[in-house]
Chains A and B, each alone.
Chain A
Amino acid sequence: MTSAPSHTAPSTPAAPSAPPENVSGEKSMATLSQLRMGVKLFVFHNNSGEHRLAEILSIDIRKDSPRYYVHYNEFNKRLDEWVTADKLDLSREVEWPRPDKPTKKTEKKGKASKAEPAKDGRPQKRPKVSRESVGPVTPKAPGPRQRRGTIGTDDGLVIQSEDIGEGSPEDMDIDDDEAVAEETPAGRTKTAKADGEFRQPEGFSKENEIEKLRTSGSMTQSAHEISRVRNLSRIQMGKFELEPWYFSPYPVEYTQADMVYICEFCLSYFDSPRRFERHRGKCNLMHPPGNEIYRDQNVSFFEIDGRRQRTWCRNLCLLSKCFLDHKTLYYDVDPFLFYCMAVRDESGYHLIGYFSKEKESAENYNVACILTLPQYQRHGYGKLLIAFSYELTKREAKLGSPEKPLSDLGLLSYRAYWQDTIVDILLDWKGGDLTIDELSNCSAMTTQDIIHTLQNLNMLKYYKGQHVIVLTDAILAQKERQRERQRAKGGFRTLNPENLIWKPPVFSAASRTWNW
């Protein structure tokens, strides 16, 4: 339920976060047919029962009526959804996408994409063969029909570049935008021709579009746009059916399926119920494929080496990417260990959640990604996972902190754990005064996280010329309530460190060089 990406590019939090109202492009009334990606308008949000400002991220046609993938302003992306046209409020002005937001995005993506995946996914060993440009793609319903609704710089145009090495003469006129020019020196004109063709009906001149393309860096965005739209419809896993929250790079063919079936034990994925049934008949895995390192009456933990269980760990990452926005699957799983929590019953060990951990973290992170599967969330498992990660860190005689950024849910979970841990230590402390270092050593938390927590809870005060830790009445009351709740539930899940049979794994220099 919490996320921290393992390898995110440094975020650029500065400008784009400003309220869009102030910086965005012009506003005007619009008709349904004028809507395109990037437009912001008010959309009725079912759960809150009100109209909210939302951005159209993708448009697609289903059963001859368009539907729109919208991202609600100030809502997490996991609440993005497909809406039908009747949910859109066109009685108010819509906000057109600013044509000029190139630099930031280009920077962010760096040298990233100049083209999005060819729809057929054909591996392109020889660029010359597959140079023809491909139409715009939205993952939901690819096909020519969707082009109707897609205008503007943000649509998912696929632009294939000419051979860069040959330096065709067209390079000459586009050197004003270096970031893009570098990547697609020659493909411009071609591209422009390609989209000009479907744009003309909407009444845009070809030249304008070329200009837009050039200045807005939409080519680098195209890939980005794809990953902004959730690509799987539903997932069936074990006993549950769930909705994915975010994009996950399962094979692009699976995005067509109404339901993706995931085997609870080997985490393999299938797009047809029959295939899945056949697989279940053959699969004899009944627990995470590694060594059990912890077991108590409730849960077990398994340690799995990404290098040794590559398929399983990849499957796990694909699955967890559905629920972790900032996770990236850019690199392979080899440099990570995966600690998987499972509950047991007669059919096997059911995966509840996991966290991954770098085999060697340069920055002393004790968690890379951490997730409680959505079907098991709000049962206290997240806290157990976090506690286990600190238990391992204690065993290693280190201090640790989760890799940043945290997700919203991650932050809340960690804060809850930190508060709990620190308050428990303070209540049990018999030794009089206490330094933050001592607190840190007891909990394996970094001093920064401790100060952060204390401060957040308003427990660090300056009194009579000295800093003091104050156990406020509110905190104590909260603790008391929590204990009551636990008693009511009949004992709360906690870890018993004695059940942890584990030694920190050691990796040789050679394996570090060659294995990941």
Chain B
Amino acid sequence: MKLTKARALILIAFSVPVAIELRTVAGFFNVELPLIAVAVIEFLFLALLFVLYGLYGEGSESAA
């Protein structure tokens, strides 16, 4: 499935509530996740998405 800009934007949008509540979910398992860890995880996700968009996104050779 081609990663279009719209799909990438939707994935980014849905990553926000997941990131915000990540510490709550971790708290259920007695894991105290600092805010900076959440920021790093979100940053890594965005970086991964950026790479995937470069590889398989609109206009890339793979997508074509």
Are A and B genuine complex partners? no
Residues on A facing B (Cβ under 8 Å): none
